[in-house]
Structure 1
Amino acid sequence: MSIYDIPVQTIKGKTISLEQYRGKVLIIVNTASKCGFTPQYKGLEGIYKEYKGQGLEILGFPCDQFGHQEPGSEDEISEFCEINFGVTFPLFSKVEVNGSNAHPLFTHLKEEAPGLLGSKGIKWNFTKFLVDAEGNVVGRFAPKDDPKKLIKPMAKLLTETA
């Protein structure tokens, strides 16, 4: 299965294919509005603004599985991200990332890039996955990893794609 075969739902409720991101380097992240890592939205947005024109897309997937830190509706989440962090990168409908109801995208990401000691589970909000322009999952970054940690490997992928 390819990442491009997985349908996702935008935060406005429209089902789309990840195929539209083929040829782009992706950072895919599970997010939450009421988490200690929520300020990472600012860092992610900064990276997005700097590298979007070079072929980067950041895809944010709100998730309420960790400490009920994303309790709001899609409209509330979207408004919060825009007002507080100026988020312009695409946001999607709330998903589960672990368990029997995990979204197929996150099941795929976890299979392709297991965590510490081969763990498949996502430990917390703001786990970040780096995907190359061909749809290969090439890295997984922990929630505590500052988004700046992704710049060097991401920039390398963008150079290879150019």
Structure 2
Amino acid sequence: MTAPEGIHAFTVRGIGGETIRLADFAGRVVLIVNTASRCGFTPQYAGLQALHETYGSRGLVVIGCPCNQFGAQEPEGEAIIAGFCTRNYGVNFLLTEKVVVNGATAHPLFRYLREAVPGVLGTTAIKWNFTKFLVDKTGIPVGRYAPTTSPAELASDIEALL
């Protein structure tokens, strides 16, 4: 899949049902993460919120994309997910509706991200929740990070792009 505009060619639906045009983030650095509320990595929501608070005013946009594809660790509906994230982690960065990230029904954004920045040994499939994609100001994905990579470990890469 080619997308000369990078992620700016895509839209996603927000957790409240609103349309989010990624073109609106031109000139900003974007971090896109597939998330889940019942995962061993769920505490990373706190780290993602910390990145949002630290770098948001400098141009970072954090987007969490709940996904139920891995171990059925995001079984609830959007309202419950949003409440959980706010109540337990103080999340006020963007959240999308639940998405599929792998397979024939994967959201087009994730099909693009998987191809643009393959994983280890060139694999394109996302292996688990909390895989992170870092996108530069022009909308081009420049980094893919494993679920085991903490949000704090992305700080220097984010700084370099801001």
TM-score range normalised by the length of the shorter chain: over 0.9
1:66 and 2:70 correspond: yes
Structure 2 residue runs of 5 or longer lacking an equivalent are none
> Displacement, 1:16?
2.6
- Counterpart for residue 151 of structure 2: 147
Aligned runs of 1:1-162 on 2, under 5 Å?
1=3, 2=5, 3-158=7-162
Identity of aligned residues (%): 52
Question: Which sits farther off after the overlay, 13-22 or 126-135?
Answer: 13-22
Distance in 2 between residues matched to 1:137 and 1:143, nearest whole Å: 17
SS of structure 2 residue aligned to 1:125? coil
Segments of 4+ moved more than 4 angstroms? none
> What TM-score, normalized to structure 2?
0.96
Structure 1 residue runs of 5 or longer lacking an equivalent are none
> What TM-score, normalized to structure 1?
0.96
1:98-140: CA deviation from partner (whole Å, max 9, x where unpaired): 0000000001101110000000000000000000000010000
RMSD: 0.6
Question: Which sits farther off after the overlay, 55-64 or 1-10?
Answer: 1-10
